[in-house]
């Protein structure tokens, strides 16, 4: 690794290292005087790290790190757990991967952490896009190969968070014989409507779209060689954002690997979501799109595993994961399928706050979904900003001026921790219920049905469900964006006819919430959710037509006392820390919102930086992004950003900078992406891509 000859020499006094020439294998056992060694001795198995490659049918070799238990008796075999992502196992993810690999290896599982072809340490060119057919085919081949290893018992599982949740679900759909079960956290079965690029069909320019293409341009680990093969396969490859920007409508491009449009899933799945994560709908999606057993859990946190996700409360999910794997991969008879298969955290109506450590609420364990005793309550917006249980007797309408820069209080994606939503509500139509006389708990996807009209062919609608406290503060419960061009068909979009009424229907993103007595339920409707959604191009006015065709429904569940519904959950366990490196600095993501009402301008920025070491090498990564729009000219919004990765490997400094700018007008997007590579301060290569892409219903 990392200039492997020098690295192995440096490790002589702290590691027993066995470097295998065939297969390019390095085995590392932990030193006898390390705390990790003591932990491993106390567990069932010690383990080794092995750096190998697996060759695919087309000759491409994929880099894999094995966390392999040391057999206690001759001929002992183990199941394999695969996680395959492009996030560079040898540098970006080496430290965080270690805790999970160590945990499962010490409990009798071989963990295979694989870099997607064309990324990290794997050979081949960068794939054409995420979740390519080649990637999923590789996963099938890896499963087959590992099931036939001399150390294997023939059974394989896939697992992961985000990208590796996606490809675990996609691979499971193909039903490779050795794949017996999966664990997926924060994934999706619908790549157009429920992913980071088009939020419910509306363009979302998240910083990920720039981040991934910058990182894909880094040299291949562990040698970080800069040569013509590197330029051809990585640096000179056109960034993925150009492909995503051209694919502005649902199509076969998005549906090729989206299992929502395929036969139900038949591989058992343990799925985990978070109420503050953009992918939280997938938990219920998988539950409803599966014929195999599914265990589903949804906590109060963000895009993270349950033992550390913020905010808490947290629990140790890996204990249940072991029992899940034991049942499906080792044939251990336990009661994992006899326990409640649906668990969700019921938020009990916290006041608006941007950074709570713990969310007030309690865990609800249910035998299955839907929750027994569930009902639906329909509410209708009325004149004078009221919300009642019956439609208005006379059809009327409320007008809404489009304010393109509104929406920053809700953050960059539905579900982030938010402060008081009153600032967003000032540029919205709001409808409030009477104060509740008794508590109401909801769990599921509220449904909204709107009758609207507009003065231009295209606007977007943003719908937010909120909680208004007696003191007037407003908490965000959940929301949804609606692209009206897809109201009849996602595959065949149609423009609005100015002045002509249209009906829009959409499920609000999955949520849980207790509305307390004295609180009011609020429905807030606007035509902007900046910067989450790219602003629609025409300043003007829309109308909400009140009456029997404008309503929304709440998924009400029986209210419980927290002491009656508490689920017994183990406390988080500390993870083993990688003995070969540490994080020196991590700022997290810092958000800044600037709104000038007088000028009608909105600017949203994010910054982050991280520094870490592995062996004697130092790694730095920093990024900054900005979204900007003027209310008077919403067509001319922009997004720009920089990401710099500086890796110092055996004293050689590799500096890769990625810069992006997306500007729009009424008819097109202008996208510019530049990669710049320096080595020890000398410019090695610079390449810029520029493309003007027609704007289609975005």
> Residue 653: beta bridge partners?
648
Look at residues 265, 292, 311 and tell me which one is the last residue of a structural domain. Answer: 265
Q: Is 23 left (phi over 0), alpha (psi -120 to 50) or beta?
A: left
In eight-state DSSP terms, residue 386 is: B
CA distance 406 to 602: 8
Neighbours of 604 (CB within 10 A): 23
For residues 369 and 541, the answer to whether their CB atoms sit within 8 Å is: no
Residue 255 lies inside a defined structural domain of this protein: yes
- For residue 454, give the nearest of 488, 499, 486 by alpha carbon: 499
Residue 669 lies inside a defined structural domain of this protein: no
> What pLDDT is attached to residue 249?
96
Task: Identify the sign of the CA torsion 505, 511, 512, 514.
Answer: negative
For residues 255 and 261, the answer to whether their CB atoms sit within 8 Å is: yes
> What pLDDT is attached to residue 38?
32
Confidence band for 208, pLDDT divided at 50, 70 and 90: very high
Pairing state between β 269-274 and 179-185: parallel
Q: Does residue 547 surpass a pLDDT of 80? A: yes
Confidence band for 276, pLDDT divided at 50, 70 and 90: very high
CA distance 471 to 452: 32
In the three-class reduction of DSSP (H, G, I as helix; E, B as strand; rest coil), residue 131 is classed as: coil
Do residues 182 and 60 both lie within one domain?
yes
Look at residues 241, 265, 289 and tell me which one is the last residue of a structural domain. Answer: 265
- Summarize pLDDT for 563-584 with one digit per residue, the tens: 666 688 999 999 999 999 999 9
Residue 417 lies inside a defined structural domain of this protein: yes
CA distance 685 to 319: 48
CA distance 22 to 656: 32
Do residues 259 and 395 both lie within one domain?
no
Q: Does residue 264 surpass a pLDDT of 80? A: yes
> What pLDDT is attached to residue 564?
64
Do residues 44 and 169 both lie within one domain?
yes
CATH value at residue 519:
2.60.120.260
- Summarize pLDDT for 349-373 with one digit per residue, the tens: 989 987 889 999 999 999 999 999 9
Pairing state between β 682-694 and 520-526: unpaired
Average of per-residue pLDDT across 333-346: 95
Q: Which of 33-37, 50-54, 229-233, 525-529 has the lowest mean pLDDT?
A: 33-37
Residue 396 lies inside a defined structural domain of this protein: yes
Residue 367 lies inside a defined structural domain of this protein: no
Do residues 406 and 260 both lie within one domain?
no
Average of per-residue pLDDT across 652-670: 98
- The length of the chain, given as a count of residues: 698
Look at residues 535, 560, 585 and tell me which one is the last residue of a structural domain. Answer: 560
- For residue 465, give the nearest of 530, 413, 410, 535 by alpha carbon: 410
Domain carrying residue 506 = 375-560
Do residues 74 and 195 both lie within one domain?
yes
Q: Who contacts 581 (Cβ-Cβ below 8 Å, separation ≥6)?
A: 94, 95, 612, 613, 614, 615
Query: ω before 222 within 30° of 0 (cis)?
Result: yes
Q: Which of 12-16, 160-164, 459-463, 633-637 has the lowest mean pLDDT?
A: 12-16
- For residue 693, give the nearest of 660, 658, 667 by alpha carbon: 667
Do residues 386 and 530 both lie within one domain?
yes
CATH value at residue 48:
3.40.50.1820
Confidence band for 39, pLDDT divided at 50, 70 and 90: very low
> What pLDDT is attached to residue 394?
87
Q: How many domains does the chain have?
A: 2
> What pLDDT is attached to residue 565?
60
- Summarize pLDDT for 374-411 with one digit per residue, the tens: 999 999 999 999 999 999 888 899 999 999 999 999 98
> What pLDDT is attached to residue 29?
29
Residue 618 lies inside a defined structural domain of this protein: no
CA distance 390 to 382: 9
Do residues 258 and 383 both lie within one domain?
no
Residue 350 lies inside a defined structural domain of this protein: no
With a pLDDT cut of 70, the percent of the chain lying above it is 93
More confident residue, 7 or 104: 104
Confidence band for 35, pLDDT divided at 50, 70 and 90: very low
> What pLDDT is attached to residue 393?
84
Do residues 260 and 383 both lie within one domain?
no
Average of per-residue pLDDT across 218-234: 98
Confidence band for 417, pLDDT divided at 50, 70 and 90: confident
Pairing state between β 78-85 and 152-161: parallel
Average of per-residue pLDDT across 111-126: 98
Q: Does residue 87 surpass a pLDDT of 60? A: yes
Q: pTM of the full predicted structure?
A: 0.93
Q: Does residue 18 surpass a pLDDT of 80? A: no
Give the mean pLDDT of the chain.
Answer: 92
Q: Does residue 5 surpass a pLDDT of 70? A: no
Average of per-residue pLDDT across 195-213: 95
Residue 607 lies inside a defined structural domain of this protein: no
């Amino acid at each position: 690794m990392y200039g492997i000859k020098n690295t192995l020499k440096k490790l002589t006094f702290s590691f027993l290292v066995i470097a295998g020439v065939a297969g390019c294998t390095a085995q590392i056992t932990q030193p006898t005087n390390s705390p990790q060694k003591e932990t491993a001795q106390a567990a069932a198995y010690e383990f080794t790290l092995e750096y190998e490659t697996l060759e695919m049918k087309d000759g491409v070799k994929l880099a894999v790190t094995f966390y392999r238990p040391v057999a206690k008796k001759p001929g002992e075999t183990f199941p394999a757990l695969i996680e395959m992502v492009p996030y560079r196992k040898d540098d970006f993810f080496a430290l965080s991967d270690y805790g999970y690999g160590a945990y499962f290896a010490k409990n009798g599982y071989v963990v295979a952490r694989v870099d997607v072809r064309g990324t990290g340490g794997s050979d081949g060119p960068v794939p054409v896009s995420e979740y390519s057919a080649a990637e999923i085919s590789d996963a099938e081949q890896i499963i087959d190969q590992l099931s036939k290893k001399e150390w294997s018992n023939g059974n394989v599982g896939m697992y992961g968070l985000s990208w590796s949740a996606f490809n675990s679900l996609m691979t499971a759909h193909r039903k490779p014989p050795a794949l017996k079960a999966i664990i997926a956290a924060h994934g999706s079965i619908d790549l157009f409507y429920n992913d980071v690029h088009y939020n419910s069909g509306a363009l979302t320019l998240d910083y990920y779209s720039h981040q991934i293409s910058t990182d894909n341009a880094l040299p291949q680990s562990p040698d970080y060689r800069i040569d013509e093969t590197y330029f051809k396969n990585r640096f000179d490859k056109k960034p993925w954002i150009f492909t995503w920007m051209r694919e502005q409508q649902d199509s076969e491009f998005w549906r090729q690997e989206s299992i929502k449009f395929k036969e139900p899933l038949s591989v058992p799945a343990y799925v985990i979501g978070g109420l503050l994560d953009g992918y939280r709908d997938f938990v219920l999606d998988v539950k409803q799109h599966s014929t195999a057993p599914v265990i589903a859990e949804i906590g109060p946190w963000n895009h993270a595993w349950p033992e550390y996700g913020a905010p808490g409360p947290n629990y140790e999910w890996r204990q249940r994961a072991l029992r899940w794997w034991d049942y499906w991969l080792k044939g251990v008879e336990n009661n994992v399928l006899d326990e409640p298969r649906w668990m969700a955290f019921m938020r009990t109506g916290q006041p608006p706050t941007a950074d709570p450590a713990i969310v007030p609420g309690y865990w609800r364990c249910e035998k299955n979904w839907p929750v027994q005793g569930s009902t639906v309550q329909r509410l209708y917006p009325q004149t004078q900003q009221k919300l009642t249980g019956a439609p208005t007797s006379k059809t009327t309408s409320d007008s809404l001026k489009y304010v393109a820069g509104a929406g920053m209080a809700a953050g960059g994606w539905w579900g982030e921790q938010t402060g008081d939503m009153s600032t967003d509500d000032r540029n919205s139509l709001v409808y409030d219920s009477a104060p509740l006389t008794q508590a109401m708990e909801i769990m599921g996807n509220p449904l909204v049905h709107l009758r609207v009209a507009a003065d231009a062919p295209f606007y977007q609608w943003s719908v937010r469900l909120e909680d208004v406290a007696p003191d007037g503060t407003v908490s965000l419960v959940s929301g949804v964006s609606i692209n009206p061009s897809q109201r009849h068909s996602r595959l065949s979009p149609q423009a609005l006819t100015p002045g002509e009424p249209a009906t829009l229907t959409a499920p609000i993103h999955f949520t849980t919430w207790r509305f307390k007595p004295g609180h009011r339920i609020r429905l807030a409707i606007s035509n902007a959710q900046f910067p989450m959604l790219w602003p629609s191009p025409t300043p003007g006015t829309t109308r909400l037509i009140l009456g029997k065709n404008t309503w929304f429904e709440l998924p009400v569940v029986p209210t419980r006392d927290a002491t009656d519904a508490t689920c017994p959950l183990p406390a988080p366990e500390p993870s083993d820390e990688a003995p070969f490196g540490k994080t020196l600095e991590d700022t997290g993501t810092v958000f800044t919102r600037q709104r000038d009402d007088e000028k009608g301008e909105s600017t949203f920025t994010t910054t982050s930086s991280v520094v870490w070491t592995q062996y004697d090498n130092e790694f730095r990564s920093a990024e900054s992004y900005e979204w900007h729009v003027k209310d008077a000219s919403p067509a001319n919004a922009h997004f720009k950003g920089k990401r710099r990765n500086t890796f110092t490997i055996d004293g050689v400094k590799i500096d890769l900078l990625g810069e992006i700018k997306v500007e729009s007008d009424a008819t097109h997007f202008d996208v510019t992406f530049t990669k710049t590579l320096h080595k020890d301060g000398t410019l090695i290569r610079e390449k810029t891509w520029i493309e003007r892409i027609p704007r289609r219903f975005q």
